[in-house]
Structure 1
């Protein structure tokens, strides 16, 4: 979410008197982010694939979030492609990682590992099923002064046996949409001085306390957002067992390949009964601005009560297309591309947006919003290369009630979809959102009775999916069976206030920094949590990052009482927390408000925890929670790290863990929720040693 909205946060929930300035020692290694964070603690080496088999395989291994698909069956989206990790493929390049150290290439890779290729080197994938299209997730260096470069990558398609070449392609990779630096909200300049030299070196604008003198940091400071991805139609269908070899040609830039997606893309959709935008002057070559033609086609279709059809082609659109009471469909998001340049607005509009760009927007809620809008089957490709929180440069925006969005591919906008309510009854299904500088999808301000289901989100610059009850609560919304991978900043799924909402069946993997798999947070000015919140049947993997503001590791799911107490009825049921970098479950309040706010009413039931770097539960707040049938194994530290509100009273911790039975396994002193730790025994270790857990396996 937009961090410009953050309120004042002080030192964090550590020991009395500690300061977040302790994070100053963690400055970035120079060059291209291949090394670990200088001064990083033991968390630098994280989950990966122990056993030394990386980069040596030739089998057509398919993973989901870098896991055996059987471990996440029934969780996450069904995006229609097979995902293969480069570190599992045949290569003569260098496998990097695994590592969870922020500001490094391995940490931002799926599964925390990738393959770096120098000129002349390759990585070769074996197709697990028929495919006529591929997608490559990669990173190439920035230009010395920032702004990105381009570099070729050769694609060779060969037969199952004998190696006979059947096709060749060349992709032109770019880093123009990657490589951000410095403090939030970041810079494109690798040589930039600190954006806020009078502040602690924190990840957001939420810590106003000053440090004197201004710190000295190495440059480039905190490089991040390294990866991008590119899709390629192969021209024909290749069969399972055939090879896709990616080779960096001589003279090209070193290229890090994270993964390959492959799939069969259906033929373009044709709708002869709809209003074709070509009839109104739209240019499918992308040379001329097609925005006026789209406006005319939409106006005509509304009068005639018809759909709008956008055929195959690339259509240049450099501003918002305002939609209301209209259906717009493309030929499929591999064929119909709405592509735009970011445009600078009049600087005299003080405090307002600095830019506009391509996007489909409902009318503002203050003007009544839009309704009965249905968008499907096309791609939106923006030109956003930095982050300006006041800009409305999102793929989808405004207020859309009684509407649907499906089958879109959204890349290089600020947020994929940022919906500003109040609004209701929106359904978002089957979309792919990648390479954003901010959120994937955000329900902001009074979004109600709406569903986000079966969407795939990767490489966002902030929360992957968020409900933000800013001024007006979000209510009765559902995030169901989505996949969120590698959010560079913040959380996979974030809930900021609201009532009667549901998060179910999702798969969240590899958050990078200052966030986790799932967050329930009273922060950013959100309305209180009320009613019932259900978090059920989700899986997180390699979640829980190291928070530089607090200088501690956080949980795969974390509850954060910053601005209010959290006291709604919250059920966390049937969730799996796998390969947790630190804690599986964390309940925390910020230190300056630790005696004001508490966390109560949270119930954990039928939970599986497979691997923690530290504890199953870390409690750093007042309040309490219940636990039933929480099974754990491969726990790196004591099962419960209960610091409460850090008052260390004779009566014990201010946080009570209630054992409802069936809580077994995992602890270094017996079952993780051992009887002598109940109900509120202080077992506080402010920063326990990290023991990297083994890779998850079948339960």
Structure 2
């Protein structure tokens, strides 16, 4: 496809690079950046990320571009808003492996089918000039339509396509450090085009061995890789382990189909036991019912497997989430990969008698989802999500929702720390809706299509905010976007249904936001709700496409600013039409506005 070249200008360097000479962002790692103090932000991940546009190619480099819902600009949903398009036989993109690896993830887009169901194809993987593998690629889990429509119809006639990208992953023969790794369209690779966003290379450890104190699901008839549904057999194993008070179950290496479970169940149901596999690269639960419902006060423990669902559009009447429910006390999820489901983990249900208390989720990957990555909802408390990676979610990647409709208590004392989010194509990287003593810290948001990097919002029938919501040591990179007739800022405070108060935001870097860097907004229906007891301290806003700071739509109340620096905004440092000067409690160290 022939296309015009459109060039975006790069923003000026981040303020801290200019004033302190210290590294702020280290893009392309897929995980961490640095703060001025040198403390890491983002997930500690075992792979190295390589952006395709930084590689060597004989094909077309696309972007940068941020035009949403237009298949002519697929790269708008790429990380960094650039990609490489392979159109003809022999087109390729190559990188040099910085470290040894035995696995690969490729984030890419291939065309949809005319009826919206997707196509399957291959793509050549070359190492040092030899085609070593035909990577299986598909568009069956990408390409939805209807623009802002929530249910994301899978019908091309609805127009405004989006969710262009998916991933393919494979264990491969060892790649030595320094090797050339190349993706090439050959004659047998039949998709009309391949838009390559990035390559992740990882050295995966050998599969885990079965612990002596776990019972294998194979003892109950579940067998891997036989293309026979294992749902009922796995549920029988779970029921036996619960009834006999066993520690839990071992799922050996291989792929287990879970499309059918016991009558009346929405997925696999358990309480108080452990589910462990041979590793997220080795043990796979695949199918429409490959979901877990943990219930009961005792909690559950999940580790070392992947959930590969079959969700290809969003329907909120179908509870096809990876993990569900009020999971009791001290549930843990560790080293789990969740993909192609609606929500990675939705905590709590209305009127749940157990709730969620003391949940820990760590070192897990949530990819290519049609709604939230994780939502600590409905009274979830004392819970931590850390060192997790989220990419390509269809709603908030990481949310805390203190829903009054679910009863008391409000969600409180939850922490998101050391997490990395890349390209939620609907909603925000991070969002907090009410509650108290909740924290987001030491995290990275990289690229948002339609909403904010961080949204602090009194909405969705939330419990009131109470002391204190804390945002600390966070990088927001190319965040913010248009949605519902509004231009959402990168760091956004919104009184949608009531006041927003008792918020502290410190050590925040906001880089190249699509609209405003910091935004306060009031909704016309919120009946004079205001902002109060809000402190922004040591916040750096650089290269915003519109304004550094924006206060709009009658936002009232007061916010405090200390060491807030604005630089190189596209339309001006401050936009606050009709806002009285006493909204701004300007303390020491503010610059540029």
Q: TM-score, normalised by structure 1?
A: 0.76
Describe the SS at the equivalent of 2:115: coil
Q: Is the 8 A contact 1:132 1:263 kept in 2?
A: yes
- Structure 2 equivalent of residue 562 of structure 1: 496
- Structure 2 equivalent of residue 170 of structure 1: 134
Deviation at 1:172, TM superposition (A): 1.8
- Structure 2 equivalent of residue 432 of structure 1: 365
Would you say 1:359 and 2:291 are equivalent positions?
yes
Describe the SS at the equivalent of 1:538: strand
Deviation at 1:260, TM superposition (A): 0.2
Would you say 1:223 and 2:157 are equivalent positions?
no
Distance between the aligned counterparts of 2:343 and 2:176, measured in 1?
36
Deviation at 1:304, TM superposition (A): 4.8
In structure 1, stretches of 5+ residues that fail to align are: 1-30, 37-43, 52-60, 193-220, 343-356, 364-368, 665-670, 673-699
Are the structure 2 counterparts of residues 48 and 171 from structure 1 closer, same or farther at C-alpha, using a change threshold of 3 Å? farther
- Structure 1 equivalent of residue 184 of structure 2: 247
Deviation at 1:190, TM superposition (A): 0.7
The number of residues matched between the two structures is 552
Distance between the aligned counterparts of 1:298 and 1:371, measured in 2?
15
After superposition, residues 115-126 of structure 1 pair within 5 angstroms as 115-120=84-89, 121-126=91-96
- Structure 2 equivalent of residue 142 of structure 1: 112
The superposition leaves residues 222-250 of structure 1 with CA deviations (integer Å, 9 ceiling, x where unpaired) of 10000000111113x22111011101122
Describe the SS at the equivalent of 2:371: coil
Deviation at 1:292, TM superposition (A): 2.1
Structure 1 residue aligned with 2:468, among 503, 510, 532?
Answer: 532
Q: TM-score, normalised by structure 2?
A: 0.89
Are the structure 2 counterparts of residues 286 and 321 from structure 1 closer, same or farther at C-alpha, using a change threshold of 3 Å? farther
Are the structure 2 counterparts of residues 48 and 262 from structure 1 closer, same or farther at C-alpha, using a change threshold of 3 Å? farther
Would you say 1:639 and 2:573 are equivalent positions?
yes
Q: Is the 8 A contact 1:77 1:506 kept in 2?
A: yes
Q: Is the 8 A contact 1:623 1:654 kept in 2?
A: no
Distance between the aligned counterparts of 1:49 and 1:67, measured in 2?
21
Describe the SS at the equivalent of 1:172: strand
Structure 2 residue aligned with 1:298, among 227, 231, 238?
Answer: 238
Structure 2 residue aligned with 1:456, among 389, 395, 399?
Answer: 389
Would you say 1:393 and 2:330 are equivalent positions?
no
- Structure 1 equivalent of residue 536 of structure 2: 604
User: Larger strand proportion, structure 1 or 2?
Assistant: 2
After superposition, residues 619-638 of structure 1 pair within 5 angstroms as 619-620=551-552, 621-638=555-572
Deviation at 1:653, TM superposition (A): 2.1
After superposition, residues 447-596 of structure 1 pair within 5 angstroms as 447-471=380-404, 472=407, 473-513=410-450, 515-550=451-486, 553-567=487-501, 569-593=502-526, 596=528
Distance between the aligned counterparts of 1:50 and 1:112, measured in 2?
17
Describe the SS at the equivalent of 1:279: helix
- Structure 2 equivalent of residue 63 of structure 1: 28
Would you say 1:325 and 2:281 are equivalent positions?
no
Distance between the aligned counterparts of 1:654 and 1:322, measured in 2?
56
Deviation at 1:279, TM superposition (A): 1.5
Describe the SS at the equivalent of 1:537: strand
Deviation at 1:307, TM superposition (A): 2.9
Higher relative contact order (CA 8 A, sep 6+): 1
What value does the CA root-mean-square deviation take over the aligned residues? 2.3
The superposition leaves residues 72-115 of structure 1 with CA deviations (integer Å, 9 ceiling, x where unpaired) of 96111012110110000001111111011112312100001111
Would you say 1:418 and 2:360 are equivalent positions?
no
- Structure 1 equivalent of residue 254 of structure 2: 313
Deviation at 1:67, TM superposition (A): 9.2
